[in-house]
Chain A
Amino acid sequence: MLFKGKLSIQLLLFGVLFCLTTTVKAQSTMDLRINEVLVMNQANYIDDFGQHSPWIEFFNSAYNTVDMGGLYLTNDLEKPTMYQIAKGDPTTKIAPQNYLVFWGDDHSTRGIRHLNFDLSSSKLVALFDANGRTLIDVVKLDQTHRTDTTYGRITDGGSEWGFLDKSTPGANNNTKTVITSAEKFGMVDPSGLGMAVIAMSVVFSALALLYVFFKNVAKLYTIDYRRLSARKQVVASEKPADGSGEHTGEVNAAIAMALHLYRNQLHDHENTVLTIRKVSRTYSPWSSKIYGVLNNSR
C-alpha cells in the first residue's frame, strides 16, 4: 500500500515535471514572431549572393535564446511542412529580443536561410512548430505591396501591422528614439519626491503585510488547541442534565485530591539512576606487564 502511495506520488511528480518542460519548450518557439516582410526588392537589402531577393524577418520576443532549427516555413497552410529549417546550425539560433532574416527567393540551394518558395508570388507566409501541425505565426501578403517598402509590425512583436517608413532587416522596427523607463520616470518626477512616496509606500505595504501576518500568527500560536478541545470535551461530558453547569461535591473533591497529589509529587530533579557503562580501555598502567615484572639489577 505504501509502495503504491509512493509510486503514485512519483508518477504525479513526473507528470508535473513533464508538463512543465513541454510547456517551457512550447513557450520558447511560440514566442517567435514574423516581424517584417519585403515582397518586392529592387534596391533594398542584398543577400549573400549579391541578389535583391524578397526577405522575411523573424523576431524572438522571448528573453531566452530560441533555435529555429527544425521549424517549418510555408506559403500554403495546406502544406505546412513545405520548408524545414535545418537543425543543428548555429545561425538558426536567435538571441533574446533579436532577429533573423530569411530570403524568400525560391533558391534553397543557396543556403539554409534561402527558402524553397518565392515570397513575391505568395499570398501568405506562415511559421509552424517542429511537429508540423502547430501554427506559430502567419501573415497575409494580399495587400498592394510597394517596391522596396517593407510591411511589418509597427513595434517589434506588437499586434499592429503597416508599411514601415524605413526597412530594418535584423533591426528594431521602431526607428524613433526610444525613451527608457528611467528617463520617462525622471521627466515626470524630476525631484524624486514621487519616487520617494511611491517606493516608501510599497516598502511599508510589503513589510506591513509581514507585520500583520506574524502578529496574528503569534496569537494563533498562543492558543493551546489540545487543551481547548480537551476542556470542551470534559465540560461536555460533565455537564449535568439539568444544565446548571455546577460541579458536584464529589467532582470538586476529586479535583482537589488530584491537585494535591500532583503538587506533592512535583520535584526538581529526576530520580538518580545508576548505569554501568562499559568503557573500552585497551591500555592501563595497572594492567601493564612492565609494572608486574621485577627489574633485577645486574
Chain B
Amino acid sequence: MEQQSFLGFITDHLGQFLGYTAFANMTVGHLIMIAIGLIFIYLAIAKEYEPMLLVPIGFGILVGNIAFFPGLKVGIYESGSVLNYLYFGVLQGVYPPLIFLGIGAMTDFSALISNPKLILIGAAAQLGIFGAYALALALGFSPSEAGAIGIIGGADGPTAIFLSSKLAPDLMGAIAISAYSYMALVPVIQPPIMRLLTSKRERLIRMRPPRAVSKREKAIFPIAGLLLTCFIVPTGLPLLGMLFFGNLLKESGVTKRLADTAKGPLIDIVTILIGLTVGASTQATTFLTAKSVGIFALGAASFVVATFGGVMFVKAINLFLKEGNKINPLIGNAGVSAVPDSARVSQVVGLEYDKTNHLLMHAMGPNVAGVIGSAVAAGILLSFLY
C-alpha cells in the first residue's frame, strides 16, 4: 500500500468534509426556499401574521433546506433520522387530531348554540373546498390530489394536513404551506370580496344580541355534535371526535386540569412539532415543482370561493327572514374555519360602516361551525377518494 503523506491525508479529508457541507450541495432551489422561510419569519415577527404557525413553519423551511450529503440520516425523508421520526406524526395523521383536541378545549360554542341557524353558514362556506376540487381536476390533478388540494378552502391547517397525508402525501408540504399562508392572509383576501358582494344597507344590519347559554346546553353540545355529525360521516371521527372531546373537557366543568392541558401545553407541543416538520418537509428537491405553483393558485381560488359561498348564503337566507331577525352578510365570510381571524375580519369590516355595530360575537358562530364543517367535508372526501 502506498504511504500517503500527512499533508495529502489532511487535504483529502478536508476535501471530503467540504463535500459534506451545505455549500457543496446547495442548489438555487434551496436558496429560493430559504428566502421563502425568511419571508415567513419576517411576516410572523414584524407583521404578526399567525406567528404561532409561521415562526415554526418558517424556521422548519430553513431546517429542511440546508442542503446535506444524502445517506447520513439527516433529512426529514431519510428513514431513521430524528426529523423523520417527528415527521411520522404528520404522515400518519397523529398531530392534527391532537390539535383539534386543543381547539375543542379552547373554543366556546355559545355563539353557535344561542343562534343555531348560524351553523348553516359554516356549511355554505365549504363551497370553497369543492370549487377548488373541480378546478384542480380541470388543471389535470388526479381526483385524490384534487381532494387534498380542495381542503385548503376549508382554511383549516390541521384538517389540510390530515387529509393530504392520506390522499396525496407527496403534495402535503405544498398544501400545508398554502393553507397556512392563506389563513394568515385572511385579512387581506376576504374584505374586498365581502364589500363587493354586499350593499351598504346590508352591511348596516344590526343583529339581535345572542341569548345567554346555560352550562347544561354547553355540555350537551359536544355530545350531540359528535353523535349527529359522526353518524353521518364516520370518516371525520379522528378530527370531530377529538374536537368534541376537547370541548366536553372544557364544558363539563369537572375536568379543568385535562382541559387546561389540552388547550395549553399539549396543543403548544404539537403545534411546534407540526409546524417545524411541515416546514422541513418543503425540501427544494421535492417542493419546487409546477404542481406546487398550481396548488398555491388553487388555494387562493378556494378562499375566494369559500368567502363567496358564505356571504351569498347569508344574503339568500335573509330573503326568508323577517325584519329584525336578519343576519348581517358580513359574517358570511366567517364560515371558513380560520378561527378567530375570519370572525375578526367581519368585526373590522362591520365597524368601517357603523362604529357601534359589533359583529364579532355573531361571527364566532359561523366561524366555529366552519371548523365542524371543514372536518365533515374532509371526512366526505376521505370516504370517496381514499
Contacts and interface: CB of A to CB of B under 8 A. Distances in A.
A196 B116 contact: no
A210 B229 contact: yes
B381 A185 contact: no
A211 B372 CA distance: 12
Contacts of A208: 119-120, 123
A221 B217 contact: yes
B170 to A, nearest CB: 14
Given A195-B133, A199-B377, A208-B123, A186 B142 contact: yes
Contacts of A286: none
Interface stretch (B57-65, B124-132, B173-181): B124-132
Contacts of B237: none
Contacts of A15: none
A207 B120 contact: yes
A214 B143 contact: no
B117 interface: yes
B134 A193 contact: yes
Contact of B376 (A191, A192, A202): A202
B28 interface: no
B337 to A, nearest CB: 12
Interface in A192-207: 192-193, 195-196, 198-200, 202-207
Contact of A192 (B123, B133, B380): B133
A199 B130 contact: yes
A198 B133 CA distance: 13
A25 interface: no
B369 to A, nearest CB: 6
A254 interface: no
Contacts of A211: 116-117, 119-120
B93 to A, nearest CB: 15
A185 B232 contact: no
A217 interface: yes
B229 A195 contact: no
Contacts of A214: 112-113, 116, 119, 217, 221, 224
Contacts of A182: 142-144, 147, 167, 384-386
A215 interface: yes
Interface string A157-189: 000000000000000000000001111011000
A205 B119 CA distance: 11
A215 B142 contact: no
Given A192-B146, A214-B116, A186 B123 contact: no
Interface string B87-125: 000000000000000000000000011101101101110
Interface string B125-156: 01101110111111000111011000000000
Contacts of B224: 210, 213-214, 217
Given A181-B385, A186-B143, A204 B228 contact: no
Nearest to B112: A214
Contact of A218 (B116, B127, B143, B144): B116
A190 interface: yes
A227 to B, nearest CB: 16
Interface centre among B130, B221, B224 (most CB of A within 10 A): B130
Given A182-B143, A215-B116, A200 B134 contact: no
A54 to B, nearest CB: 38
B228 A185 contact: no
A209 B167 CA distance: 28
Interface SS of chain A: helix, strand, loop or mixed?
A: helix
Contacts, number: 125
B381 A199 contact: yes
Contacts of B350: none
B373 interface: yes
A87 B384 CA distance: 40
Interface string A238-256: 0000000000000000000
Contacts of B220: 217
Given A182-B385, A193-B134, A202 B380 contact: yes
Given A218-B116, A221-B214, A185 B372 contact: no
A129 B137 CA distance: 49
B384 A196 contact: no
Nearest to A208: B120
Contacts of A190: 137
A222 to B, nearest CB: 9
A203 B225 contact: no
Given A186-B142, A191-B138, A213-B228, A207 B369 contact: yes
A202 B369 contact: no
Contacts of A206: 123, 228-229, 232-233, 372, 376
Interface in B197-245: 211, 214, 216-217, 220-221, 224-225, 228-229, 232-233
Nearest to B214: A221
A179 to B, nearest CB: 11
Nearest to A193: B134
Interface in B341-386: 369, 372-373, 376-377, 380-381, 384-386
B114 to A, nearest CB: 8
B371 to A, nearest CB: 11
B113 A183 contact: no
Contacts of B112: 214
A189 B220 CA distance: 39
A207 B373 contact: yes
A193 B146 CA distance: 13
Given A182-B144, A206-B228, A217-B224, 17 more contacts: A181-B384, A181-B385, A182-B386, A185-B143, A186-B143, A192-B133, A192-B136, A195-B130, A196-B133, A202-B376, A204-B124, A206-B233, A207-B120, A209-B232, A213-B224, A218-B116, A218-B217
11 contacts: A185-B385, A192-B136, A192-B146, A196-B131, A200-B123, A200-B130, A207-B119, A207-B120, A209-B232, A210-B229, A211-B116
Interface of B: 112-114, 116-117, 119-120, 122-124, 126-127, 129-131, 133-138, 142-144, 146-147, 167, 211, 214, 216-217, 220-221, 224-225, 228-229, 232-233, 369, 372-373, 376-377, 380-381, 384-386
Return the 7 tightest CB-CB contacts between A and B, nearest first.
Answer: A192-B134, A186-B143, A196-B130, A214-B116, A182-B385, A207-B123, A182-B144
